[in-house]
Structure 1
């Protein structure tokens, strides 16, 4: 409590604690004597105003404690005309003032940093009113700091983007959700509208109340251009793929027509050749010389061999037409079925055949049946002159594949020519010694390749041969499209 001259009339215990002086030291002394010298003039005016019957709630000054430290105070005061005294309440706002100063310093540092950034930076109050643009924004728009206001951003945007950006900003303010939008802003220096990515995040109190918004605008013009180029390239690619698909479909129809031609047009004359040669040898044998009869027999054999080769070629080409139908296959069952198809009736004194444990796999059962038929047919064929012939069928597991093999002690071959075995019509032995069309191993290779595996052979002349092939395990064999393999023909 102060008298009309501003002298202490009464003090509380809190005053003693905050200022460091006792009640006796303060009573009767002028309150202005304890004020920071820089604030004494304002404080004296404050005392005069209150003594004249005034009242205040937010007067601030600094007091000097007994220890010389300074405390920031905020005063509320009123004059009592009855008592002729000033009743005052002072609050220690030192920490609050420090926080305000720290905030001002922080905002100043933020603005200095924002001015050095190549991106647009702006801030807004809790209500979404823009109160700051950084240097880059002013450079882009050529709007001065003095002329800029809360609505200036609208003048920088493309006319088609203003309402969309404003609506998105309104939604962000109402919901408190982050602001995110792409817009075009005019670069006044070049006269070009450039694409930007605008983003803003709210700063929240512990209670979730929005305090401020901090926002940026990133130039994505080149990125947008690259995206547009990519979309055009993708569209062009899709058109090319469609055109290529159409071309491949046409090629497929042509191939089917060719296959029909081979099946019908070539077989017909071959049957005629074979048929007429049989008529000559059957009905006119007595009229033919032995040499002529031999020639006709060769013609018939050649025609029949040619027909088998045509059948083999058709079978080879058709492998690329249909999609695989993979499922779990018991390999031992396929081997037994293949042996049965080849007329195998069990071990005899001439050939000893052993089938080891074979793992199941995932494959197209029909196609894999052809693999075993061809490999076992070759093994039986090339061991028939061995006494005894020995054939072993087995498998082993590698990292990602199962490796199957067919081993025999037949006539073998030179390993230098192993790769040529898998070409169409490629043979290492004469047809009059060992029958065949030269298509079987080519069929086997294509089937294995379509299953994602590989096939190879190891052999030595007169020391037998081993054919290996792999199939992937623990994953599904992918269905293959016909067009992806037709180029192998």
Structure 2
């Protein structure tokens, strides 16, 4: 008698817990008909046990969710005691649908239960929030795509304009240079010293203007040039650049080269990156009688970072963002000649390889330019 009383008390305790739980618990027989439901189900669906007893649970499921619900129930019957998760919509008594998230397990073979046990909760508000976030994300993606298209169109128009202007400037520049040459050749004896000096200044600046236009054209063409992606041996590129510099008459300082890992990209464009970085390192360390240029790499985030380091004049790090702007220079023209386009061109090439380029410097101790490519996993050089 005492054992029976304890059993009854335990049953009352568990029933009280179930009836006061906000989650819903439904027991169905082998035919899928409701034989029991907790009070939580009334709060979730609006239906009482009297209204649902003997009715099939699938009757209330949203038509779009029925195939998945049938599959879950089939699996549950085939695998007793195993737990299967589900998320689907059921029709509330007042006609609207609510989202349920729950688990089902078959205890049909358990003589004390003989039922499929469903335990679920209402996740309608969470689903609405998720759908709202998805909608906002979709709208954001649409706006980003639209802005990207607009930016691409503006950039294309700007590149075309730059190319056109640069190309059109060549004609008057050639005329100025041509007439200057004629004055030198045909009227040299009639010009005094000041006249010859002025003519020399005109020709010198005409040449400089021509170089600026060439650099601007190269910068413009780069945005439209087709890339030919392949495995690139960086060691070969660096050796080619150094050989070209020697043949071009550049006096090379001490060059320290580490073995470089390979890359994936456009070989011609990446060669131009090395040309610009190595040439700059040589130029800005040229006033150091013991100039050294180091070329190497390191691994960051499982990808190679290539670098060129020198022990030249360096630069003020407060202005390093200007380094990669077109026609931006941090040193005087008379100290270190150049057009200020090389690093802008280099950054554009690296960007087209989905990479990054940055600079570090220690005034009077030198500078280091590093770049990392992102098109694909590097290959051995």
> Same fold by TM (over 0.5)?
yes
- Describe the superposition over 1:199-234 as per-residue Cα deviations: whole angstroms up to 9, x where unpaired: 532115489xx9311113421221221133123223
1:258 aligns with 2:161: yes
In structure 2, distance between residues paired with 1:392 and 1:359? 15
Partner-residue secondary structure (3-state), 1:311 = helix
Q: Contact conserved, 1:362 with 1:476, CA < 8 A, in 2?
A: yes
Unmatched tracts of structure 1, length 5 or more: 1-69, 71-97, 478-489
In structure 1, distance between residues paired with 2:135 and 2:343? 46
Tell me what 2:308 maps to.
405
1:340 aligns with 2:243: yes
Q: Residues 130 and 173 (structure 1 numbering): CA distance in 2 closer, same or farther, change over 3 Å? A: farther
Q: Contact conserved, 1:351 with 1:389, CA < 8 A, in 2?
A: no
Tell me what 1:195 maps to.
99
Query: What's the TM-score once normalised by structure 2's chain length?
Result: 0.74
Tell me what 2:259 maps to.
358
Q: 2:28 aligns with which of 121, 124, 138?
A: 124
In structure 2, distance between residues paired with 1:231 and 1:275? 65
When Rg is computed on C-alpha atoms for both structures, the one with the higher figure is: 1
- What are the within-5 Å matches in structure 2 for residues 408-427 of structure 1? 412=313, 415=316, 419=320, 421-427=323-329
Unmatched tracts of structure 2, length 5 or more: 79-83
Tell me what 1:465 maps to.
366
Q: Contact conserved, 2:19 with 2:38, CA < 8 A, in 1?
A: yes
Which structure has more relative contact order (CA 8 Å, sep 6+)? It is: 2
- Describe the superposition over 1:345-388 as per-residue Cα deviations: whole angstroms up to 9, x where unpaired: 899xx8653433332232533233223322333454456677x6
- Describe the superposition over 1:54-109 as per-residue Cα deviations: whole angstroms up to 9, x where unpaired: xxxxxxxxxxxxxxxx9xxxxxxxxxxxxxxxxxxxxxxxxxxx9x9998777655
In structure 1, distance between residues paired with 2:88 and 2:124? 10
1:251: Cα distance to partner? 1.4
Q: 1:186 aligns with which of 71, 78, 92?
A: 92
In structure 1, distance between residues paired with 2:64 and 2:179? 90
Q: Residues 296 and 217 (structure 1 numbering): CA distance in 2 closer, same or farther, change over 3 Å? A: same
In structure 2, distance between residues paired with 1:322 and 1:345? 26
Partner-residue secondary structure (3-state), 1:277 = helix
Q: Contact conserved, 1:196 with 1:218, CA < 8 A, in 2?
A: yes
Partner-residue secondary structure (3-state), 1:342 = helix
Query: What's the TM-score once normalised by structure 1's chain length?
Result: 0.60
Q: Residues 445 and 129 (structure 1 numbering): CA distance in 2 closer, same or farther, change over 3 Å? A: closer
Partner-residue secondary structure (3-state), 2:114 = strand
Partner-residue secondary structure (3-state), 1:200 = strand
Q: Contact conserved, 1:262 with 1:310, CA < 8 A, in 2?
A: no
- Describe the superposition over 1:268-305 as per-residue Cα deviations: whole angstroms up to 9, x where unpaired: 22222222322333334444444333323322221221
Q: 1:150 aligns with which of 38, 42, 54?
A: 54
Tell me what 2:73 maps to.
172
- What are the within-5 Å matches in structure 2 for residues 160-309 of structure 1? 161=62, 168=69, 172=73, 176=77, 180=86, 182-186=88-92, 193-197=97-101, 199-205=103-109, 211-309=114-212
- Describe the superposition over 1:151-207 as per-residue Cα deviations: whole angstroms up to 9, x where unpaired: 28689x48xx3797599459836972558452243366xx86533346532115489
**Mean alpha-carbon deviation: is it higher for 309-318 or for 320-329?**
320-329
Q: 2:16 aligns with which of 101, 112, 121?
A: 112
- Describe the superposition over 1:317-340 as per-residue Cα deviations: whole angstroms up to 9, x where unpaired: 555556876655444322221122
Tell me what 1:439 maps to.
341
Q: Contact conserved, 2:24 with 2:120, CA < 8 A, in 1?
A: yes
Q: Contact conserved, 1:407 with 1:467, CA < 8 A, in 2?
A: yes
The count of aligned residue pairs is 364
1:403: Cα distance to partner? 5.2
In structure 2, distance between residues paired with 1:216 and 1:247? 51
Tell me what 2:269 maps to.
367
In structure 1, distance between residues paired with 2:8 and 2:32? 20
- Describe the superposition over 1:382-418 as per-residue Cα deviations: whole angstroms up to 9, x where unpaired: 56677x664443436465554533435x6x3565677
In structure 1, distance between residues paired with 2:286 and 2:357? 30
1:425: Cα distance to partner? 2.6
In structure 2, distance between residues paired with 1:145 and 1:133? 6
Q: Contact conserved, 2:258 with 2:297, CA < 8 A, in 1?
A: no
1:395 aligns with 2:273: no
Partner-residue secondary structure (3-state), 1:122 = strand
Partner-residue secondary structure (3-state), 2:180 = helix
Partner-residue secondary structure (3-state), 1:215 = strand
Partner-residue secondary structure (3-state), 1:282 = helix
